[in-house]
Amino acid sequence: MPTIVNWLDARREYGMIFFRFIIGFHLVYGTADNVFNWQRMLEFRDFLASNGTPWPLAGAIVSAWAQFLCGLLFIAGAAVRPAALVMIINFIGALLIAHRGGGYPPAALALIMLFSSIGLMVHGAGRLSIDYGRRRAGLD
Protein backbone atom coordinates (compact mmCIF):
# COMPACT_ATOMS: atom_id res chain seq x y z
CA MET A 1 0.00 0.00 0.00
CA PRO A 2 1.58 3.31 -1.09
CA THR A 3 2.14 5.92 1.53
CA ILE A 4 2.22 9.68 1.19
CA VAL A 5 6.01 9.50 1.43
CA ASN A 6 6.19 7.12 -1.54
CA TRP A 7 3.82 9.36 -3.51
CA LEU A 8 5.99 12.39 -2.74
CA ASP A 9 9.21 10.53 -3.54
CA ALA A 10 7.84 9.71 -6.98
CA ARG A 11 7.34 13.44 -7.59
CA ARG A 12 10.52 14.69 -5.98
CA GLU A 13 11.86 16.34 -9.13
CA TYR A 14 8.74 18.47 -9.45
CA GLY A 15 9.43 20.11 -6.09
CA MET A 16 12.31 22.17 -7.47
CA ILE A 17 9.87 24.43 -9.27
CA PHE A 18 8.73 25.91 -5.93
CA PHE A 19 12.32 26.46 -4.84
CA ARG A 20 13.23 28.06 -8.18
CA PHE A 21 10.13 30.28 -8.14
CA ILE A 22 10.74 31.86 -4.74
CA ILE A 23 14.48 32.35 -5.27
CA GLY A 24 13.89 33.72 -8.78
CA PHE A 25 11.04 35.94 -7.65
CA HIS A 26 13.14 37.37 -4.84
CA LEU A 27 15.99 38.16 -7.23
CA VAL A 28 13.69 39.86 -9.76
CA TYR A 29 11.68 41.72 -7.11
CA GLY A 30 14.79 42.87 -5.26
CA THR A 31 16.50 44.31 -8.32
CA ALA A 32 13.70 45.55 -10.60
CA ASP A 33 13.88 48.99 -8.99
CA ASN A 34 17.58 49.26 -9.87
CA VAL A 35 17.12 47.89 -13.38
CA PHE A 36 14.18 50.13 -14.29
CA ASN A 37 15.03 53.29 -12.34
CA TRP A 38 18.39 54.95 -12.96
CA GLN A 39 18.17 56.97 -9.73
CA ARG A 40 17.89 53.74 -7.72
CA MET A 41 20.87 52.35 -9.64
CA LEU A 42 22.86 55.43 -8.62
CA GLU A 43 21.84 54.85 -4.99
CA PHE A 44 23.18 51.29 -5.29
CA ARG A 45 26.38 52.73 -6.77
CA ASP A 46 26.70 55.09 -3.82
CA PHE A 47 26.17 52.20 -1.40
CA LEU A 48 28.93 50.20 -3.10
CA ALA A 49 31.22 53.25 -3.12
CA SER A 50 30.64 53.79 0.61
CA ASN A 51 31.77 50.21 1.18
CA GLY A 52 35.03 50.74 -0.73
CA THR A 53 34.06 48.86 -3.88
CA PRO A 54 36.23 49.70 -6.88
CA TRP A 55 34.26 50.83 -9.97
CA PRO A 56 31.01 51.13 -8.01
CA LEU A 57 28.83 52.10 -10.97
CA ALA A 58 30.00 49.13 -13.04
CA GLY A 59 29.59 46.88 -10.02
CA ALA A 60 26.06 48.14 -9.38
CA ILE A 61 25.01 47.65 -13.00
CA VAL A 62 26.55 44.18 -13.31
CA SER A 63 25.19 42.99 -9.96
CA ALA A 64 21.65 44.33 -10.44
CA TRP A 65 21.31 43.06 -14.00
CA ALA A 66 22.88 39.69 -13.15
CA GLN A 67 20.45 39.18 -10.28
CA PHE A 68 17.48 40.29 -12.38
CA LEU A 69 18.32 38.09 -15.37
CA CYS A 70 19.36 35.08 -13.29
CA GLY A 71 16.08 35.42 -11.37
CA LEU A 72 14.17 35.18 -14.64
CA LEU A 73 16.27 32.16 -15.67
CA PHE A 74 15.59 30.46 -12.33
CA ILE A 75 11.84 31.00 -12.73
CA ALA A 76 11.89 29.60 -16.27
CA GLY A 77 14.24 26.78 -15.37
CA ALA A 78 16.55 27.78 -18.21
CA ALA A 79 20.36 27.72 -17.94
CA VAL A 80 19.90 27.26 -14.20
CA ARG A 81 23.38 25.92 -13.47
CA PRO A 82 25.24 28.74 -15.26
CA ALA A 83 22.88 31.27 -13.64
CA ALA A 84 23.52 29.68 -10.25
CA LEU A 85 27.28 30.03 -10.77
CA VAL A 86 26.83 33.74 -11.52
CA MET A 87 24.73 34.13 -8.35
CA ILE A 88 27.30 32.24 -6.26
CA ILE A 89 29.96 34.71 -7.37
CA ASN A 90 27.58 37.66 -6.88
CA PHE A 91 26.59 36.70 -3.34
CA ILE A 92 30.12 35.88 -2.26
CA GLY A 93 30.91 39.42 -3.39
CA ALA A 94 27.88 40.78 -1.51
CA LEU A 95 28.99 39.04 1.67
CA LEU A 96 32.54 40.38 1.32
CA ILE A 97 31.45 43.92 0.40
CA ALA A 98 28.30 44.64 2.36
CA HIS A 99 28.08 42.05 5.12
CA ARG A 100 31.58 41.58 6.46
CA GLY A 101 31.78 41.94 10.20
CA GLY A 102 28.05 42.40 10.73
CA GLY A 103 27.25 38.95 12.01
CA TYR A 104 24.55 36.58 10.90
CA PRO A 105 21.31 38.63 11.03
CA PRO A 106 22.34 41.31 8.50
CA ALA A 107 23.97 38.68 6.26
CA ALA A 108 21.16 36.12 6.48
CA LEU A 109 19.45 36.92 3.19
CA ALA A 110 22.72 37.02 1.25
CA LEU A 111 23.68 33.67 2.83
CA ILE A 112 20.29 32.19 1.94
CA MET A 113 20.72 33.34 -1.66
CA LEU A 114 24.29 32.00 -1.77
CA PHE A 115 23.39 28.58 -0.42
CA SER A 116 20.24 28.38 -2.55
CA SER A 117 22.39 29.09 -5.59
CA ILE A 118 24.80 26.35 -4.53
CA GLY A 119 21.82 23.99 -4.20
CA LEU A 120 20.59 24.90 -7.69
CA MET A 121 24.10 24.43 -9.08
CA VAL A 122 24.36 20.95 -7.57
CA HIS A 123 20.79 19.77 -8.25
CA GLY A 124 19.85 21.56 -11.43
CA ALA A 125 16.45 22.91 -12.38
CA GLY A 126 14.34 19.80 -11.82
CA ARG A 127 11.79 18.18 -14.07
CA LEU A 128 9.44 21.13 -14.70
CA SER A 129 12.00 23.26 -16.50
CA ILE A 130 13.30 24.30 -19.87
CA ASP A 131 16.63 22.68 -18.96
CA TYR A 132 14.96 19.30 -18.42
CA GLY A 133 13.04 19.60 -21.69
CA ARG A 134 16.22 20.44 -23.59
CA ARG A 135 18.03 17.46 -22.05
CA ARG A 136 15.14 15.14 -22.93
CA ALA A 137 15.16 16.43 -26.51
CA GLY A 138 18.90 15.83 -26.77
CA LEU A 139 19.71 19.53 -27.17
CA ASP A 140 22.14 19.63 -24.23
**pLDDT, tens only, 82-134:** 999 999 999 999 999 988 888 888 899 999 999 999 999 999 999 889 898 88
Rounded to an integer, what is the distance from CA 20 to the centroid of its chain? 9
pLDDT digits over 20-53, tens only?
Answer: 999 999 999 999 999 999 999 999 999 999 999 9
H-helix segments, 1-140:
4-9, 16-36, 38-50, 56-76, 80-98, 104-123, 130-136
Who's near 87: CB < 8 A, 6+ residues apart?
27, 66, 67, 70, 113, 114, 117, 120
- Boundaries of every domain in the chain: 15-136
Closest CA to 42 of 63, 62, 61, 20: 61
Q: pTM of the full predicted structure?
A: 0.90
